[in-house]
Amino acid sequence: MRYRLRTLLIFLAIAPPLLAGAWLLLIRHRALRNIDTARVHVTVLEEATYHYILDTAQLPPDLDALIRPPKTLTSPQKWTGPYLERPQVPTDPWHRPYRYELLDKQRIKFRISSDGPDKTPGTNDDITTP
């Protein structure tokens, strides 16, 4: 009986820290997976935007233009989308919309970004196109 009680007490002393460590590893893995998912989404949105530009010879006014032709399109017959497989623009893993910024219309420069895990724009954890 003593042997079983001692074994049980040792198990109860060792198990919680091991389970806590495993739980922390799981949480960290999930956070890294979310960052990787956001990077993939940003890359896919960037590629779709370039396809839109090649077809229409202009920058899209917003990311919705990758799904439906915008009303401001100068040559609607050139739009060969949708440029995304999904019927809507995805949100980032933290359930926020991706940002689309026109940086320079003349040089066809734009930025697509996610606010990252802290959900605050302009911080170090933001995920953006280069």
Residue 50: what pLDDT? 93
pTM of the model as a whole: 0.74
What pairs with residue 127 in β-bridges? 114
Domains of the chain, by residue range, sit at: 2-128
* Cα 69 to Cα 18, 23, 61, 75, 96, distances in angstroms: 54, 46, 10, 10, 23
Contacts of residue 108, Cβ cutoff 8 Å, sequence gap at least 6: 53, 59
Three-state SS at 2: helix
Three-state SS at 101: strand
Strand 109-114 and strand 99-104: pairing? antiparallel
Residue 124: what pLDDT? 84
What pairs with residue 112 in β-bridges? 100
Domain 2-128 homologous superfamily, CATH? Glycoprotein, Type 4 Pilin (3.30.700.10)
The Cα–Cα gap between 123 and 126 comes to: 6
The Cα–Cα gap between 35 and 128 comes to: 11
Contacts of residue 47, Cβ cutoff 8 Å, sequence gap at least 6: none
- Percent of the chain exceeding pLDDT 90 equals 39
Residue 24 has pLDDT above 90, yes or no: no
Residue 99 has pLDDT above 80, yes or no: yes
